[in-house]
Structure 1
Amino acid sequence: MQDNRILQLAYAIAETTRDKVGAIESIMRETEILALNARIEAARAGAAGAAFGVVAGEMGRVSGSISGIAREFRAEVEAQTQRIEEAGSAMLTELRGQRFTDLALNAVEIIDRNLFERSCDVRWWATDSAVVEAAEAPSVDRLAHASARLATILRSYTVYLDLWITDREGRVIANGRPDRYPGVVGHGVADQAWFQRALATANGDDYSVADIARESALNEAPVATYATAIRRGGRHDGEVLGTLGIFFDWAPQAEAVVQGVGLSDEEQARSRVMLLDAQHRIIADSRGRASLGECYPLETDGRERGYGLAEGRLVAFARTPGYETYAGLGWYGVIEYADAAERGTRMVQAGRQGALC
């Protein structure tokens, strides 16, 4: 950063001034010693050395005055240098804090734009004729056709792990990847919040979304689940026949977001980029795969975005603003930046700093 180089130059000037004042003080100490020796020799010479003794005394007085000025100058330089360091550090903190806040906002906006598309997908695919017909009259042929149709969608939309059709009772009757997930058909989801909310949607414009969770029927993969009701005839106000649930493959998409934040090499070495849900649970972490169990101790003080300092760390955050018709889930983008002196302990211990959710 340009401001960092300017601050380093100010530090260098202050350090050079200290060195030169130190050299002056050293010379003055030598001069005082010489003046003292001259006065001793003048005293030994008696009356013949009286005049020389006066000159030696004046040399000592002048040397002492210069040393005093040098000491005052050193003290003033040190005081001004401290002010420069404090002002410079505050300036760098503010600039970095504002920049990291913008980057945190950008990260959560990217994921929100992505998830907005998922909310569009589920509402569109729930009107597909193969999906509607399978929910209306789930014969063997119709379910096979619906499964093949979902498989076609999955080949084009690689961000999904699977797509499920359920009946009104919450039993999965077809999925798009029966070869990869053979245990899905017959799986019960009646107790899942996403299913219950999808079943209760008022019309075809509504959908449900669940926070990131591991899905047992998908080999415990972390997923973002979107769902909506399948309605008779695919009509906007048709009778609810079942639901369509779509499972966004969270891990690779989230990793791409947190790893793709625009940090310098130095900043990357000292930073931890995260996405948090509304309960401050870590759902993406640039250090590696999130456990989905650790809560980050984020202090927002009621702000939507901003930054703060704590224990040698700068923590910048931004709450999701949503995207178009997608209001978001109250997620946060967060960047934790550790000072060089703190990095060895803070970054190693970061996994222990949060309580389990």
Structure 2
Amino acid sequence: MAKYKGIEVKDNVRQLLPHMPLIEEYREMLQSLQAVWDNLNLLGQLSGTTAEIGQTREAFASLTGELLNNLAEQTLAKREQEMKARSQVVIDILVRNLFERTADIGFLSTDEVIRQFAAEPGEPWALQQRFKEYVRKYSVYEDVVLLDCNGRILTRLMPDKQVAVIHDSWVREAVSTTAPYVEAYVHSGLFPEQSRSLIYAYRIKSERGETLGVLALCFRFADEMQRIFRGLTQPDDPGVMVLLDAAGLVISSSDPWQVPVGAELRVESGSLQRLRFAGRSYLVFASDTKGYQAYMGPGWRGLVMMPVAQAFDIHDDDPLDISEPALLASVMSGGRAFSEPLRAIPHKAEAIQRDLSRAVWNGTVRQGVASAAVNSAFSKILLREISRVGMSMREVFSRSIGNLQSTVLSSLLADSHFFAALAIDIMDRNLYERANDCRWWALDSTIRSLLANGTARDRRANLEKVITYINSLYTVYDNILLFDTAGKVLAVSNPDHASLVGQPLAEPWVDDCLGLRDSQSYAVSSFVPSPLYGGRPTYVYLAAVRAPNDAQVVGGIAIVFDSAPQFSTMLYDALPREASGEPVAGSFALFVDGEAKVIAASGGSFLPGQQLTLPAELLKPAADGHARLIALDGQVMAVGASPSSGYREFKGRDDEYRNEVSALVFIPLGAYDANARSADPEGEVAMHRPAIASDTPVREIATFHLGAHWLGLPVTSVLEAIELTGAACLPNAPKQVYGALIYRNETLPIYNLHAALGLEAPPGQTTACRQVVVVRGENGVNFGILVDRLGEVMEVPNDDIDDLSNIYVGVASVLASVVKTPPGSGLPMLVLLSVESMSEQLRGSNRPAPLDA
């Protein structure tokens, strides 16, 4: 622990507190109020008025430190979680993308057109057009280059006459490697103006196994990183996202003016750290990739850097709108959202406020009894001021606790929203590749010639050789089918579906596919159960296959997406994680279509095709997404939703394909109790002095509350209020007798007004929250009244008090009289109780009538 401006704080937040403006504001307000209270307390002690509030003052001071510590720690934890998630996504989204590139180079290096040109180089125009077709579909590449084994450029998509031969080491490695691809991030002779380029390469071999050359796919690295950064950047975000290589050098930056490429940053992965860079202090969090299908990428890391001076300015004071009180009350009562120390803070604040209210109430009651005393007027003013300061402190505490709760819950809601956005982004990026694959494979020269030649020898075997090889590289597909213009299946890649060969396809998408206008067009089935996928729902991606001369459509290619495991994996990878790396217990994620039907689920009780009934803003979220608390299956859930917005050309402005899909992520926070309610704060107890003429006879009334009812007694009938502790039940006692406790070494019977008046006890109220008003009974036999909370001590003109005896004729009721309410005031009715009747009932006599009689 350390001292910060007079408050004990934990070491891990001491240096950060000056940069947390909201917490500084609360600290200053609380310390200012405590200074005023100290002066009032001193005056009270000199006058003998405030003997009871010393401990309350100390309790407030102690809770101030505890509250500010927790608020600071939760603010820091919220920022850490945001930074951790973003740094993880920076690297994992990139690695997923690069995994697809490793499959691309493996397949394209076997392309027959490229192979023939490598064997017999000639006029490059036709091959350049093929490269152009490829990049039109796979726009993640900036260039495609074919070289001989010595690095001489045979042709490339973007010809450069000044670069005819290169001496990059990856060329030699691609010729000799035993790996399925070469991945190089280096300064390349292909792009002498760039510091480094990301290149995927592999050798081209003849049918006899002779190496003919090397094919290189040049990835749009800078463009892709900026897309990733833009997707993760928040409005007015002062932070910087960077990509580090294995040596700790910055290879990409979201803000190169703040953190330039080439800077060296020495940081450990997996924890929040302080880093000083370029004269500025940063909070930093670095993450290693989790990998994708055993591919771990080039050994890079994602890093988020947040300037300490601005790290806690971001939306920390945004209000949290929770429409249903039971949701927040349920979360506060248990579950993972709030630890036990956090849940205890509001209860401690309530207890302190009850102590203060009781002390001021008792002091005001005593001054009312001793109204002839010389210092009575001064004491009452002093008590009113102490109460006013106490109310101000309660308001600051209430706001601070509310902000603490908001910080915790908004962090969880932001998590659910963030991970929903991640899930839909993964889906869009993945399906972008599927739309590319079907169109590119439709341009395969072998497939085109065999579909055009219906009498070709061994046509099925040769077609299946091609698509089986493709399917071995691209394992996200359950099957690849080729069909003719009549919709008859000619070949399949999955031997388990061999019975389809020769059968006509009765799917509506056959005509859609055969009617596609050009090689850039594609079709997609609806997400519905398909006989091609064992009756399970999936997407089928299609492209028309044209004759080698492009004169006519000769058939189509259908690729059956293996949706069940692929979508499940995407959703699983987007789940929130514990520190151990395991998903949060009970959390799950869904993909949902535009008709609120489940496409896929990572877990939970939902199944594909199931209709959802959730709030509309979750099922059809706005473009920037939505997050809220809901009750689901007996749990309070933080739910985030994010709609599909596409990736690059996929679902872009010029893409005719549209498919309304959203991702939802559910995080359980605790059991839901529809009757749960947050405790009502203690009411104001300062004595009110309405405008009453000085010569008007008045009676001073001590008031208290039972549920929604406002009751009172003359102050002359009241000794004091005490907390209900140590009470014991009395066997065979009537319902209006709650029990008894020891008070000033004597037994004090307790009158149960709830039972006597036929009222329900407040739900969820603990015994510790209830109070006992000690009443001067007849013949010196005192008793207590069980109340929910204390009210005001107020003066009432005698003329405003109406006797109730004419209503309860012949019945000894505990209700003695009522105080007139000014018309239009909206105030509840104040009912005064009969001490005599309660005393009689405690002696076992008359029973009271209900309050609503």
TM-score interval, smaller chain: 0.7 to 0.9
Per the alignment, residue 50 of structure 1 pairs with: none
**Cα separation, partners in 2 of 1:271 and 1:4, compared to 1, 3 Å:** farther
Is 1:255 the counterpart of 2:572? The answer is no
CA-CA distance at 1:69 after TM superposition? 6.9
Contiguous gaps of at least 5 residues in structure 2: 1-72, 79-315, 317-337, 632-636, 652-657, 675-853
The residue type equivalent to 2:511 in the other structure is: Q
Q: 2:576, 2:522 → 1: CA distance? A: 36
What's the CA shift for 1:206?
A: 0.9
Query: How far is 1:272 from its partner?
Result: 3.2
User: Residue by residue, what CA displacement relative to the aligned partner does 1:22-67 show, whole Å, maximum 9, x if unpaired?
Assistant: 56777899999999xxx9xxxxxxxxxxxxxx9xx78999998888
Match of 1:103? 419
| 1:297/1:189 CA distance change after superposition, 3 Å | farther
Q: 2:599 aligns with which of 279, 283, 306?
A: 283
Q: 2:518: which partner in 1?
A: 203
Counterpart check, 1:322 vs 2:646 = yes
- After superposition, the Cα gap between the structure-2 partners of 1:34 and 1:211, relative to the gap in structure 1 and judged at 3 Å, is same
Over 3 Å counting, the alpha-carbon distance change for 1:206 and 1:93 in structure 2 is: same
Query: Aligned pair 1:331/2:661, yes or no?
Result: yes
Q: 1:225·1:245 contact (CA, 8 Å) conserved in 2? A: yes
Greater Cα shift, 10-19 or 296-305: 10-19
Letter in 2 for 1:167: D
SS in 2 for 1:340: strand
Residue identity matched to 2:576? L
- The one-character-per-residue Cα deviations of 1:202-248 (angstroms, maximum 9, x if unpaired) are 01111111233332143224332101111111x5x430011110111
Q: Which residue of 1 aligns with 2:466?
A: 149
After TM superposition, give the deviation of residue 342 of structure 1 in Å. 2.5
Counterpart pick for 1:3 among 75, 79, 88: 75
Shift of 1:308: 4.4
CA distance in structure 2 between the partners assigned to 1:167 and 1:329 by the alignment: 27
Contact 2:621/2:643, CA 8 A, preserved across alignment: no
Q: After alignment, is 4-13 or 251-260 more displaced?
A: 4-13
Q: Name 2:82's counterpart in structure 1.
A: none
Distance 1:16 1:302 in 2: 39
Q: Is the Cα–Cα contact under 8 Å of residues 477 and 559 in structure 2 kept in the other structure? A: yes
Q: Does 1:292 align with 2:605?
A: no
Q: Is 1:228 aligned to 2:552, yes or no?
A: no
The answer (yes or no) to whether the contact 1:210–1:225 under 8 Å persists in 2 is yes
**In structure 1, how many angstroms separate the alpha carbons of the residues matched to 2:463 and 2:364?**
100
In structure 2, how many angstroms separate the alpha carbons of the residues matched to 1:269 and 1:337? 8
Give the aligned CA root-mean-square deviation in angstroms. 4.0
Q: CA deviation at 1:334?
A: 1.6
Mapped pair 1:112 → 2:424: no
1:76-134 alpha-carbon deviations (Å, 9 max, x no partner):
55544443344444444444434432321221111111111111211121122332233
Cα distance, 1:211–1:226 mapped onto 2, change above 3 Å: same
SS in 1 for 2:616: coil
Partner of 2:671: 341
Flag structure 1 segments of 5+ consecutive residues without an equivalent.
40-53, 345-357
CA distance in 1, matches of 2:448, 2:437: 15
Relative to the length of structure 1, the TM-score reads: 0.73
Contact 1:208 1:226 in 2 (8 A): yes
- Specify the alignment match of 1:350 in structure 2: none
Separation in 1, partners of 2:586, 2:376: 54
For residue 162 of structure 1, report the CA deviation from its aligned partner: 0.8
Aligned length in residues: 324
Q: 1:242-301 CA distances to partner (integer Å, 9 max, x unpaired)? A: 111011101111111111115134983354311122333211212257322324535237
Residue 128 of structure 1 corresponds to: 444
Give the Cα–Cα distance (whole angstroms) in 1 for the partners of residues 600 and 667 of structure 2: 16
* Alpha-carbon distance in 2 for matches of 1:316, 1:228: 35
**CA 81–331 in structure 1, closer or farther in 2 if over 3 Å, else same:** same
The structure with the largest helix share of the pair is 1
Local SS of the residue matching 1:153: helix
Using the alignment, how far apart are the partners of 1:307 and 1:343 within structure 2? 24
Q: Which structure has more strand as a fraction of its residues?
A: 2
1:213 aligns with 2:285: no
- 3-state secondary structure, aligned to 1:147: helix
Q: What's 1:351 paired with?
A: none
Matched, 1:245 2:554: no
Q: Is the 8 A contact 1:315 1:335 kept in 2?
A: yes
Q: 1:61 to 1:24 in 2, by over 3 A?
A: farther
TM-score normalised by length of structure 2? 0.33
Say if 1:12 and 1:63 are closer, same or farther in 2 by CA, change over 3 A. Answer: farther
8 Å contact 1:11–1:85 — kept in the other structure?
A: no
Write the deviation string for residues 326-352 of structure 1: whole angstroms up to 9, x where unpaired. Answer: 1162221222345423399xxxxxxxx
Over 3 Å counting, the alpha-carbon distance change for 1:296 and 1:208 in structure 2 is: farther
Comparing 108-117 with 133-142, greater Cα deviation is found at: 133-142
Match of 1:154, as an amino acid?
Answer: N
Question: For the Cα contact (< 8 Å) 2:577–2:584, is it kept in 1?
Answer: yes
> How many angstroms apart in 1 are the aligned matches of 2:610 and 2:346?
49
Give 3-state SS (helix, strand or coil) of 2:610's partner.
coil
Please give the alpha-carbon distance, in whole angstroms, between the structure 1 residues aligned to 2:387 and 2:560. Answer: 72
Most deviating of 271-280 and 74-83:
74-83
- Specify the alignment match of 1:303 in structure 2: 622
Cα 1:29–1:270 shift into 2, 3 Å: same
